[in-house]
Amino acid sequence: MNDPVTAREFHAAPGVEEWRVVGDGACTFFRTGSFEKATQLVEAISRLPGIEEHQPDIDIRPGGVTVRLLTTSDDYYGMTGADLILARQISAAARDLGMAGDPSSVQSLLVIPGAGNVAEVMPFWRAILGYEPRADSPEEDLVDPHKRGPGFWFEEMSALRADGGGAIHIAVWVPVEQAEDRVAAALAAGGHMVRDEFAPSWWTLADAFGNEADIATTTGRD
């Protein structure tokens, strides 16, 4: 049940059509309509078998409930068979309450600082954020121990980018079917394309002052 599952394998599995792997976890959004309905869904999830041993990340907002599934250990950070099973169980519990998952409403954010010496700058970011090293990649990544803020993935750079980009940029992970529309919207809003040779894994765009952002998907990363 805990065998690793790639994003491609997760999306191809039956019964998880409402879910999308963005960044590190599989997510979906349940539009509940009220706080009471949201708590009913969370209560239903809390009663699923084995939930204490493999708990999802749940976020309640006025519009509904976002659920993220992720397996972490000292040497792994990603999807497993346990996440597939739990995704199906959560979708079934939501259907019993008259709710359906909406994967078009999910995304995740990643911050990517660049440095000539990653080891030199990571302690600063760890201190200022209150983050901790990611267990499976402690020399490269920092994560929020409370699972609230975006991950920080550090990028080795010998110099500032020749095309004018700074030493820090963000990545916005979206479902692959939304990526090109998001890129087009950013271009229409005054941005310009910096790099697209890695699409559809990611497109790098920038605003008028060279501040960069990636539109990223899990496609092509397996």
Residue by residue, what is the 3-state secondary structure of 191-204?
CEEEECCCCCCEEE
Instruction: Check whether 166 has a pLDDT greater than 90.
Output: no
pLDDT at 162: 62
What is the residue extent of each domain of the chain?
4-105, 108-216
Q: Check if CATH label 3.40.50.12370 holds for domain 4-105.
A: no
Q: List, for residues 30-71, the tens digit of each pLDDT value.
A: 999 999 999 999 999 999 999 999 999 999 999 999 999 999
Distances, alpha carbon 147 to alpha carbons 16, 81, 121, 171, 218, in Å: 23, 22, 22, 17, 20
Contact yes or no for 64/47 (Cβ under 8 A): no
> What's the CATH number for 108-216?
3.10.180.10
Q: Which two tokens stand for residue 180?
A: 């090109």
Matching fold, domains 4-105 and 108-216? no
Pairing of strands 25-31, 20-22: antiparallel
Which two three-digit tokens encode residue 12? Answer: 């191809």
Confidence (pTM): 0.91
